[in-house]
Amino acid sequence: MSMKCPQCGAWTSVMETRTRKTENVVVRRYECANLHRFKTEEKVTCIAVKSPIVQTSTVPDALKVWQKSVSDIRDTSSPLAK
Ligand SMILES: [Zn+2]
């Protein structure tokens, strides 16, 4: 599946894919059928926490807080929580 050109909506092809390892970002350079060029950036925007198996002190405090807030949301929205 490829991106459509933001200018004309034509199909595009990927000219180049670059990884910025320090930022954990993938940058792709595209060119569309009408020779418009644009870039996309792909990055991690959230971390899905499934049942955590390892609960150790190596988990950063910020992540612990985040996990707690997610479980709070699940509790209040669950029909079983009544
Ligand atoms: Zn175009």
Which residues make beta-bridge pairs with 12? Answer: 32
Tell me the pLDDT tens digit for each residue of 40-72: 999 998 888 887 676 666 666 766 666 666 666
- CA angle centred on 15, ends 45 and 20, rounded to 5°: 40
Task: Look at the pTM and tell me if it is higher than 0.85.
Answer: no
- Residue-averaged pLDDT of the chain: 81
Which residues neighbour 74 within 8 Å (Cβ) at sequence distance 6 or greater?
none
Q: How far is the centre of ligand 1, averaged over its atoms, from the C-alpha of 16 (Å)?
A: 17
- CA angle centred on 25, ends 51 and 41, rounded to 5°: 110
CA distance 23 to 38: 20
Question: Mean of the pLDDT values across residues 16-43?
Answer: 95
Environment of ion ligand 1 (residues, CB < 5 A): 5, 7-8, 10, 32, 34, 36
Q: How far is the centre of ligand 1, averaged over its atoms, from the C-alpha of 53 (Å)?
A: 47
